[in-house]
């Protein structure tokens, strides 16, 4: 074995060891129970009464408070006394440890129907309590367990994987567009950035559909008139109309994608 071969083996060894460690870590993580993902909390001053473990906290213009509206765009986190680590500030008044990431217990209600594992959850009109999310808007994360109760005013507790983000379904129609506008306008005094994102996304969707309806009508009309004037060129005219419609659909889809990215990123 020459010196060059020995040198190559020497240089490759750290890379092989590194790859082995990465694969071993991934396999160990994949086998870990996902319900035990650690949560790290931060102490904040909550300006509200009767705050308890599992309450949803919102960041408002008046400070941190219990969330009191559905699909609140100012959701900050969940009060939790079961965290793996926390950063606490001792001189805070009404201090509560709040978690924004990780798996924690959350207070829930069946106001919007029974909850199944995997359902998105959001804030409700009951202060600090989550409910099942079934339309566009901000959610706190995903339920890791079922919860059902015929009493819609009752409050229970389930484990939730926190992931605060806007829930978006681009296949819905006018109701969800209006809901995006409503959510954006409702957050103008609380979270201007989030409000602006909602307004921009809604405007992008409306413009895309407006372009689609206007130009589709023009393309269809001009195609029919062209075939009427020159029936022998019908195949070529139909192909041209089909091409223009395809481009138009591409523009509409691109507008929806841009709207999604505005909200998701």
| Whether residue 84 is found in the same domain as residue 144 | yes
Please tell me the predicted confidence (pLDDT) of residue 162: 93
Q: How far is CA 154 from the centre of its chain?
A: 27
| Whether residue 11 is found in the same domain as residue 65 | no
| Whether residue 71 is found in the same domain as residue 153 | yes
| Whether residue 223 is found in the same domain as residue 151 | no
Flag whether 182 is in a domain. Answer: no
| Whether residue 126 is found in the same domain as residue 225 | no
The CATH number that applies at residue 260 is 1.20.20.10
Flag whether 174 is in a domain. Answer: no
Flag whether 189 is in a domain. Answer: no
Please tell me the predicted confidence (pLDDT) of residue 184: 52
Total structural domains in the chain?
3
Contacts of 198 (CB under 8 A, 6+ apart): 73, 166, 180, 181, 183, 184, 185, 187, 263
Residues (pLDDT < 70) of the chain are 1-38, 85-86, 88, 90, 169-198, 216-217, 219-221, 223-238, 241, 262-265
Flag whether 208 is in a domain. Answer: yes
| Whether residue 131 is found in the same domain as residue 214 | no
| Whether residue 14 is found in the same domain as residue 117 | no
Flag whether 45 is in a domain. Answer: yes
Flag whether 177 is in a domain. Answer: no
pTM over 0.95: no
Task: Kindly report, residue by residue over 166-192, the tens digit of the pLDDT.
Answer: 877 644 445 555 555 555 555 544 455
Looking at 150, 166, 182, the residue that finishes a domain is 166
| Whether residue 136 is found in the same domain as residue 50 | yes
| Whether residue 80 is found in the same domain as residue 200 | no
| Whether residue 156 is found in the same domain as residue 41 | yes
| Whether residue 14 is found in the same domain as residue 61 | no
Flag whether 186 is in a domain. Answer: no
Domain that holds residue 205: 194-264
The CATH number that applies at residue 79 is 2.40.300.10
| Whether residue 152 is found in the same domain as residue 84 | yes
């Amino acid at each position: 074995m020459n010196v060059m071969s020995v040198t190559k083996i020497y240089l490759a060894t750290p890379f092989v060891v590194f790859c082995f460690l990465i694969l071993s870590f991934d396999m160990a993580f994949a086998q870990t129970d996902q319900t035990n993902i650690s949560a790290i909390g931060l102490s904040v001053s909550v300006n509200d009464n009767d705050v308890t473990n599992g309450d949803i906290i919102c960041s408002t213009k008046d400070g941190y408070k219990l969330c009191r509206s559905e699909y609140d765009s100012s959701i900050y986190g969940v009060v939790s006394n079961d965290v793996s680590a926390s950063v606490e500030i001792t001189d805070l008044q009404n201090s509560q440890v709040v978690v924004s990431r990780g798996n924690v217990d959350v207070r829930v209600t069946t106001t919007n129907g029974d909850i199944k594992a995997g359902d998105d959850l959001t804030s409700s009109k009951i202060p600090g309590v989550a409910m099942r999310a079934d339309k566009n808007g901000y959610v706190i994360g995903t339920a890791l367990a079922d919860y059902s109760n015929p009493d819609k005013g009752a409050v229970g507790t389930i484990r939730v994987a926190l992931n605060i983000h806007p829930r978006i379904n681009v296949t819905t129609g006018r109701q969800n567009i209006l809901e995006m506008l409503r959510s954006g306008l409702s957050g103008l005094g609380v979270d201007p950035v989030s409000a602006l994102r909602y307004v921009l996304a809604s405007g992008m969707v409306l413009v895309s559909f407006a372009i689609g309806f206007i130009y589709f009508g023009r393309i269809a009309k001009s195609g029919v008139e062209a075939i009427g004037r020159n029936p022998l060129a019908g195949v070529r005219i139909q192909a041209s109309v089909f091409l223009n419609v395809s481009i138009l659909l591409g523009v509409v889809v691109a507008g929806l994608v841009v709207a999604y990215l505005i909200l998701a990123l």
